[in-house]
């Protein structure tokens, strides 16, 4: 994606933490238009259950674009049940090559409780290091906080919640109204 076309992720922070056989995905609820908060209680973390599989997704970027991608991901998961990595790679491939999809401005964090991926419109399917992934305008703050908290004996949910609280204190496009989903494998 060209930097001038989509100059930044404003209004979202999503963090995922894997620890103790569980993955927790947390996202804030703020939607901003420029410097104005439009909504403070949006749900940017969702659970998908295509064909009985359980998958948790968090998204940053354009909401309509993210919903389009989530629908496509759900279809990919239905056509390859239990194969999250394959579904993510297929989605990323379509996202990068399809004339319509390549203009979508969003990022996704996707997990089935075992695997954890970050998907981008550049065709990336990234498995994050250190069992932490973060995206959005406050993503770097949440990522740094979560990395520091991994040195403690806190569980995944506590780390995710504390990392989001730190990001909300620093990033003006992030608030403390959280949606938290847990998934185990």
Q: Give phi and psi for 133, each to the nearest 5.
A: -135, 145
Reduced to 3 states, what is the DSSP secondary structure of residue 117?
strand
Dihedral sign for Cα atoms in the order 13, 72, 119, 129 = positive
> Catalytic pick from 12, 13, 111, 174?
12
For the purposes of burial, counting CB atoms within 10 Å of the CB of 144, is it exposed (0-12), middle (13-18) or buried (19 or more)?
A: middle
158 is annotated as an active-site residue:
no
Angstrom distance (rounded) from CA 183 to CA 185? 7
- 44 Cβ contact partners less than 8 Å away, ≥ 6 residues apart: 12, 14, 27, 28, 29, 58, 59, 60, 63, 66, 179
Q: Which DSSP letter does residue 40 get?
A: S
The residues assigned a catalytic role are: 12
């Amino acid at each position: 994606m060209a930097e001038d076309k989509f100059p930044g992720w404003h209004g979202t922070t999503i963090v995922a933490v894997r620890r103790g056989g569980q993955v927790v995905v947390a996202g804030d609820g703020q939607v901003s238009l420029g410097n104005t908060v439009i909504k403070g209680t949006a749900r940017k973390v969702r659970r998908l259950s295509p064909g009985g599989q359980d998958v948790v997704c968090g998204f940053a970027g354009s909401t309509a674009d993210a919903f389009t991608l989530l629908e496509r991901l759900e279809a990919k998961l239905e056509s390859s049940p239990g194969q999250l990595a394959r579904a993510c790679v297929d989605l990323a491939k379509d996202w990068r090559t399809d004339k319509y999809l390549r203009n979508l401005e969003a990022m996704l964090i996707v997990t089935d409780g075992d695997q954890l991926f970050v998907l981008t419109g550049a065709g990336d399917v990234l498995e994050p290091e250190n069992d932490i992934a973060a995206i959005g305008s406050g993503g770097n703050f949440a990522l740094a906080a979560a990395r520091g908290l991994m040195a403690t004996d806190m569980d995944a949910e506590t780390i995710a919640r504390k990392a989001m609280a730190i990001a909300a204190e620093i990033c003006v496009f992030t608030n403390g109204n959280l949606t938290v989903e847990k998934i185990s494998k």
